[in-house]
């Protein structure tokens, strides 16, 4: 089994590169996975895509994952490679556990990454893109994240990209309590914005969303005023702050329309865009009365809070190492399971054949109860015969010569029929 990961994040690539390889919606993620399978041809795969990272994990890929990145971003492979990082096998698990623990997040200790990993797993698993290997790996990564948040204080204070964005707004205005604020989008990040705004005592909030039904629902939840999506430009002359986080693939605030809508403003407009791809045309920052911040600009604010949480890192790293040993053990066990299964399947076929042969010679001479006793007895004999080989194989799970031990075992038991191997989660197109 080959486990490979290729990714890029806020440390390896700027937002203008990251947005070229992002999958902000369910449909775009499904489309991305289908394209990945057609180009890279893995047995299993999953894509984790957030505003700060896109990571692709594959089991037994036949092609280099960089080909997928290059195709999606429309950037030559060698140029694309300098923005990415790469891990193989057990290092894939280690990196994913670090990500799930939030140590690799822009905001160390934030909890959103865990739900984003869960969402990625649900999409991949439901649509048969992931199987035994990745489902186990992702489930263990989620367990790492939960342990870190319950066994350490790294998440204390519930910092997130949303809270950092609001902190940035506070640092500029002194206080945002009496400011008029427009929140665009109705997803998880927008809800975090609204929750944080409420905690800061902000009451004058407008909420706009492409889906009117969802926009009204979230407006009622947070006592905001719903604004039709088409009217988002009209209100730019009134509000002080715009917080935008949608799944749009195009700018929802293009330069020309923002310029026209803000031309008569007496005071400056503060805009924060944490969407990937970006919601607000970066040229908007060139307007004299508009100040635009994107996800990368939040890094400076984050650095002030990072040191408070770094003292928890040693304990987090201990948890990661503990879980890494468990995953490594599972991987070795997974190498043995197919062999043990084939031995048992082969032995059961022989047992059944011999019982049937014997019963055919004794036709009519045995009662149903006696036949059941013979069946149970032969099953017990096979179980006892196979007990020691099974135990010995499992005892050598960490042996550096495990591959040779498996090969010799398969030779001794004449396990040469591939048809006996169970299907370990290779991707099948859902019909």
pLDDT in tens, 347-359: 898 999 999 999 8
Burial code (b: 16+ CB inside 10 Å, e: under 16) for 125-162 equals: bebebbbbbbbbbbebbbebbebbbeebebbeeebbbb
Q: Please give the average per-residue pLDDT across 219-244, as a whole number.
A: 94
190 marked as binding residue: yes
Which of 385, 387, 390, 374 shows the shortest CA–CA distance to 338? 390
Residue 428 pLDDT exceeds 60: no
State the catalytic residues: 51
211 marked as binding residue: no
CATH class held by domain 161-305: alpha beta
pTM of the full structure: 0.74
**Which residues make up the CATH 3.30.460.30 domain(s) of the chain?**
3-151
186 marked as binding residue: yes
DSSP string covering 299-327: HHHHHHHHHHHHTTHHHHHHHHHHHHHHH
pLDDT tens per residue across span 45-79: 999 999 899 999 999 999 999 999 999 999 999 99
Confidence grade of residue 180 (pLDDT, cut at 50, 70, 90): very high
Q: What is the CATH number of domain 3-151?
A: 3.30.460.30
pLDDT for residue 231: 93
111 marked as binding residue: yes
User: Are 13 and 69 in contact, with CB atoms under 8 Å apart?
Assistant: no
**Which residues make up the CATH 3.40.50.720 domain(s) of the chain?**
161-305
Q: Please give the average per-residue pLDDT across 351-370, as a whole number.
A: 88
Residue 417 pLDDT exceeds 60: no
Quick one: tokens of 100? 């799930």
130 marked as binding residue: no
């Amino acid at each position: 089994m080959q486990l490979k990961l290729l990714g890029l994040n806020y440390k390896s690539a700027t937002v203008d590169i990251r947005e070229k390889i992002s999958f902000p919606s369910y449909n775009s993620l499904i489309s991305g996975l289908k394209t990945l399978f057609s180009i890279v041809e893995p047995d299993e795969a999953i894509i984790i895509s957030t505003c700060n990272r896109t990571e692709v994990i594959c089991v037994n890929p036949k092609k280099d994952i960089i080909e997928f990145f290059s195709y999606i971003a429309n950037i030559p492979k060698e140029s694309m490679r300098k923005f990415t990082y790469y891990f193989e096998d057990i290092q894939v698990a280690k990196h994913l556990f670090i990500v799930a623990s939030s140590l690799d997040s822009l905001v160390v200790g934030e909890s959103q990454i865990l739900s984003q990993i869960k969402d990625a797993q649900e999409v991949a698993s439901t649509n048969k893109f992931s199987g035994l290997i990745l489902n186990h790996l992702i489930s263990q990564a989620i367990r790492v994240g939960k342990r870190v948040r319950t066994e350490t204080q790294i998440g204390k204070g519930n910092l997130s990209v949303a809270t950092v964005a609001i902190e940035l707004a506070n640092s500029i205005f002194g206080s945002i309590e009496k400011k008029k604020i427009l929140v665009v989008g109705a997803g998880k990040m927008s809800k975090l914005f609204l929750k944080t705004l409420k905690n800061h005592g902000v009451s004058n909030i407008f909420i706009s969303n492409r889906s009117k039904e969802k926009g009204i629902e979230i407006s009622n939840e947070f006592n905001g005023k719903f604004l039709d999506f088409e009217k988002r430009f009209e209100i730019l002359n009134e509000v002080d702050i715009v917080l935008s986080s949608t799944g749009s693939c195009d700018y929802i605030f293009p330069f020309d329309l923002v310029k026209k809508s803000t031309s008569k403003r007496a005071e400056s407009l503060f805009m924060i865009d944490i969407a990937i791809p970006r919601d607000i045309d970066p040229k908007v920052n060139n307007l004299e009365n508009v100040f635009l911040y994107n996800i990368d600009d939040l890094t400076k604010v984050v650095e002030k809070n990072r040191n408070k949480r770094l003292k928890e890192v040693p304990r987090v790293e201990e948890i990661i190492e503990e879980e890494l040993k468990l995953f490594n053990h599972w991987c070795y066990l997974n190498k043995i399971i197919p062999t043990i299964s084939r031995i048992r399947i082969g032995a059961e076929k022989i047992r059944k054949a011999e019982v049937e042969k014997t019963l055919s010679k004794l036709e009519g001479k045995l009662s149903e109860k006696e036949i059941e006793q013979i069946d149970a007895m032969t099953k017990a004999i096979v179980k006892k015969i196979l007990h020691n080989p099974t135990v010995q194989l499992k005892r050598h799970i960490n042996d550096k010569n495990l591959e040779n031990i498996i090969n010799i075992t398969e030779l001794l038991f004449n396990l040469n029929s591939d048809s006996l191997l169970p299907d370990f989660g290779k991707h099948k197109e859902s019909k």
